[in-house]
């Protein structure tokens, strides 16, 4: 029931919703638009695994946020700094421990969860240092992934997971159902949830919710602490 309610909570877009077609023309990812829509304007935000700073720039320009990032790769840090963004080099699996409690309004982990060594610990730290946590990830339970494993017997290669298993940085694949179970283990409340299909469009089918596990190629969740 918690997931179904979260789906309904995001069916009506908030005021000032971002123009997805414009972001696409700029080369942006649709999941970044969904993430940005979940962030209240003028918030303090930490983007974990910020890459080249595309999301930080979106949050700063479209939401007026005080947006900061932490990125493991030197190339990503240099690209973000070149854009005039506040990005430092750091490892999410270690360095989140040094941030104080409630230091940010939102802590975001966009398409990075599957590349962390300690995903549960990382989520725990996000919920500690942020009043809310937003997580997006590729859904390994998508029907194409199941099809490749069932019929071809090979690890899937898709647009969202384009690198072969022997070169990919992804080490912890999960499904939407797996993530919901992890949220329960962490005693986190799912406030909003969105699934995106292979074209980047929202999956509108919400009942039964397990349809997301088949049709959603990506998912975005907004979490808060219950206690």
For the stretch 31-66, pLDDT in tens is: 899 999 999 999 999 999 999 999 999 999 999 999
Using CA atoms, how far residue 158 sits from 51, 122, 124, 140, in Å, is 20, 26, 29, 10
Structure-block tokens of residue 28: 């942006």
How far apart CA 157 and CA 132 sit, in angstroms, is 32
pTM above 0.95, yes or no: no
pLDDT recorded at residue 5: 52
Residue bearing tokens 């219950």 = 226
pLDDT value at residue 153: 64
Distance from first CA to last CA of the chain, Å, rounded? 19
**Share above pLDDT 70 across residues of the chain, in percent, rounded to a whole number:** 71
| pLDDT the model gives residue 81 | 94
């Amino acid at each position: 029931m918690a997931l179904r309610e979260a789906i309904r909570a995001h069916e009506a877009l908030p005021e000032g919703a971002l123009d997805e077609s414009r972001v696409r023309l700029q080369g942006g990812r649709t999941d970044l638009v969904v993430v940005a829509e979940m962030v209240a304007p003028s918030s303090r935000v930490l983007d974990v695994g910020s890459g080249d700073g595309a999301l930080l720039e979106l949050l700063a320009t479209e939401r007026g946020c005080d947006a900061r990032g932490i990125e493991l790769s030197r190339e990503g840090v240099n690209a973000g700094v070149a854009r005039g963004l506040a990005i430092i080099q750091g490892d999410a699996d270690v360095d989140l421990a040094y941030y104080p409690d409630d230091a940010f309004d939102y802590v975001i982990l966009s398409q990075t969860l599957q590349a962390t060594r300690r995903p549960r610990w990382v989520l725990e730290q996000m919920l500690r240092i942020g009043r809310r946590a937003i997580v997006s990830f590729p859904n390994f339970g998508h029907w194409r992934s199941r099809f490749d494993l069932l019929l071809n017997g090979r690890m899937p290669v898709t647009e969202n997971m384009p690198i072969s298993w022997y070169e990919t940085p992804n080490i912890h694949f999960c499904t939407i159902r797996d993530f919901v179970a992890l949220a329960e283990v962490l005693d986190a409340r799912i406030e909003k949830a969105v699934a995106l299909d292979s074209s980047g469009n929202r999956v509108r089918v919400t009942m039964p919710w397990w349809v997301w596990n088949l049709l959603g190629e990506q998912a975005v969740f907004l979490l808060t602490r219950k206690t």
